[in-house]
Chains A and B, each alone.
Chain A
Amino acid sequence: MRGLARRAVMASQGCAAGLLWVLLACLAVVPAPAAAASPRPKAPPLVHVRQLNAMSGRLVSRIRAGTAGAAHFRVHVAVYQEMLRELMVGNPQVDRSDRLPNALLMKLVRMAALLQAAAACQTGRDIVCSLTLINELDRQQRRVGAALDGLAGARGS
């Protein structure tokens, strides 16, 4: 009985391996869909910018409250930068009407730089930055928010 079970398992493993090979071969033969060829973001870029803005807003308010755990904060800053990079790389490929203006991208890059400066504060468990940096983060957050609202208003979204 035990030998039968072992043979069944081996057969299923062999079967699974075979299926995997067939699947790989199909993937190699079947042409890739057009959407995968260009890294076009699924949602409009403005939606991604709103997500980025919400993320930076949360990070800034945590710094202001003194509750930004250092390790957690640094991971989020890295994620923010990567999301922004992805957005910028994909920006020339979206429709001209949806494309983000350079001025807004520069504001986001400056926000990324300020967040990076905050993340680089040598600190204990929580991020503690100078008042000048915290206030500048606040001001930049407001600038990005205002630019975003202006753009959304202009595009009617």
Chain B
Amino acid sequence: MNGALAGFGVDFGRTVWSIAVEAGPWVLLSLVAGGLVHEFVPSSRLGRLLDRRGMAGLAGAVLLGALLPICSCGVVPLAVSFYRSGLRTGAVMAFTAATPIINPAAVILSLALLGPRITAAYVLLGLVLPVVLGLAAERWGEGPVGADAGAAAVRPLPLEASPPDAAFGRRVLRALRWGMLELGPSIGFYLLVGVLLAALVMASVPQSWIAHYLGGSSLLGLAAVALFGASIYVCAVANIPVAATLLAAGAGPGAAIVFLVTGTATNLPELLALYHTIGKRTVIIYASALVAASFVAGMLVNAWLLPGFAPAFDPLRGLNGIAASARWQPTVSAALATASVYLLAVLGCWGGWLRIRQRLGRRRDADGCGGGCCGAD
């Protein structure tokens, strides 16, 4: 019993660290980029492109996301800053889904290990699914920040909008301040809680279940894979070799696609952070639509490729593909990765402290101590 508990503790700790260290540098970079987005994008061409009505805005968001090699946790600060900059919800959610699902390194690796047919399905799904999710979130979710300003969980710092003719250096400083001091603590707190929850799920679910459900092509298996994939944290580039080995071991192509898409598109830390920053209804619709749409896509891929699908590829070309994909993958130094984890932990704890202080303040107000009566005592 003690041994099992110790084993669980080791798995839990290892998972927390692996998620944090994998996502940390990108979250940090995304916080900086988010500050710049908040300061510069609303008045820029990019802002106007993403804010267009109809499909053009969604297509722009998907293409922008597909070019960025950022995982699902790293995309959160950027998505929230797009949202708080007043961009339409559909474009924000389409960008949030497209960024982690698809990127050049993932497509090269998929072509090398999964073959052209599954890669075609993966690319198609990676481009269409975010548009569907964006449309669903826009139709039934909360409106943009101007229409629902109360979505921000942590009280924003009193930053005034910069006049467009302010000095460039000053605007950059304001952007960094907004990204790190306002966005950082709120996002950091929810990501911290989400990472702990995701690690709990990943360490609790027996690995034999994953192999069992991924190993078949039943509808129950597809649903289980979709739900499990949506809760765990995996990067597309790390997920593709896992999907390739499972496929070779007998998994259905639909299950592999579902695992690939839901595993990379979202996870508990991301959902928790977006739930508290963008809006509850939007995120519930986003997550449900993701699971449902990827389930349907899995069934379609099974209907297309089964029976008789054999994941064959040329070994030498596959090895060359792995090397080519590694060249496209940005690497982060160990020192920077570790430092980013500690910095995000500090931001997360600070965000937690802000929330506690906010709640205590509200309670004092509710107890009748507001309005200066306590101060008068």
Contact = CB atoms under 8 A, between A and B. Distances in A.
A102 B319 CA distance: 13
A48 to B, nearest CB: 14
B353 interface: no
B241 A130 contact: no
Contacts of B338: 124
A81 B323 contact: yes
B228 to A, nearest CB: 10
B11 A88 contact: no
Nearest to B22: A122
B334 A66 contact: no
A124 B238 contact: no
Contact of A131 (B113, B207, B322, B332): B207
B300 to A, nearest CB: 25
A112 B319 contact: yes
B331 interface: yes
Give the dominant DSSP class at A's interface. Answer: helix
Contacts of B211: 135, 139
A61 to B, nearest CB: 15
Nearest to A143: B249
Interface residues of B, number: 47
B244 interface: yes
A49 to B, nearest CB: 12
A108 B318 CA distance: 10
A133 B242 contact: yes
B358 interface: no
A109 B233 CA distance: 25
A116 B316 contact: no
A110 B240 CA distance: 10
A133 B21 CA distance: 15
Which of A66, A70, A108, A131 is packed against the most chain B CB atoms within 10 Å? A131
Contacts of B207: 131-132, 135
A110 B244 contact: yes
Given A120-B329, A130-B238, A136 B19 contact: no
A13 interface: no
A117 interface: yes
Interface in A50-89: 66, 70, 81, 84-85, 88-89
A108 B315 CA distance: 9
B322 A122 contact: no
A133 B113 contact: no
B313 interface: yes
Interface in A101-157: 102, 105-110, 112-114, 116-117, 120-125, 128-133, 135-136, 139-140, 143
B15 A116 contact: no
A106 B312 CA distance: 8
Contacts of A108: 315
Contacts of A112: 319, 322
B250 to A, nearest CB: 11
Contacts of B232: 130, 132
Contact of A109 (B19, B22, B319): B319
B241 A106 contact: no
B109 interface: yes
B18 A128 contact: yes
B202 A122 contact: no
A39 B283 CA distance: 58
A105 B315 contact: yes
A106 to B, nearest CB: 5
Interface string B247-284: 01100000000000000000000000000000000000
A42 B329 CA distance: 36
Given A112-B319, A130-B233, A130-B234, A122 B245 contact: no
Contacts of B136: none
Given A106-B248, A110-B248, A116-B241, A132 B202 contact: yes
Given A120-B237, A131-B11, A106 B322 contact: no
A115 to B, nearest CB: 9
Given A107-B248, A131-B207, A85 B14 contact: no
B227 interface: no
B319 to A, nearest CB: 5
A84 B237 CA distance: 21
Given A120-B331, A121-B18, A123-B334, A109 B315 contact: yes
B21 A122 contact: yes
Contacts of A85: 316, 319
Nearest to B317: A109
B337 interface: yes
Nearest to B313: A106
Given A88-B316, A110-B241, A131-B202, 20 more contacts: A102-B315, A112-B322, A113-B109, A113-B322, A116-B241, A117-B241, A117-B242, A120-B238, A121-B21, A128-B14, A128-B21, A130-B19, A130-B202, A130-B232, A130-B238, A131-B207, A132-B202, A132-B232, A139-B245, A140-B245
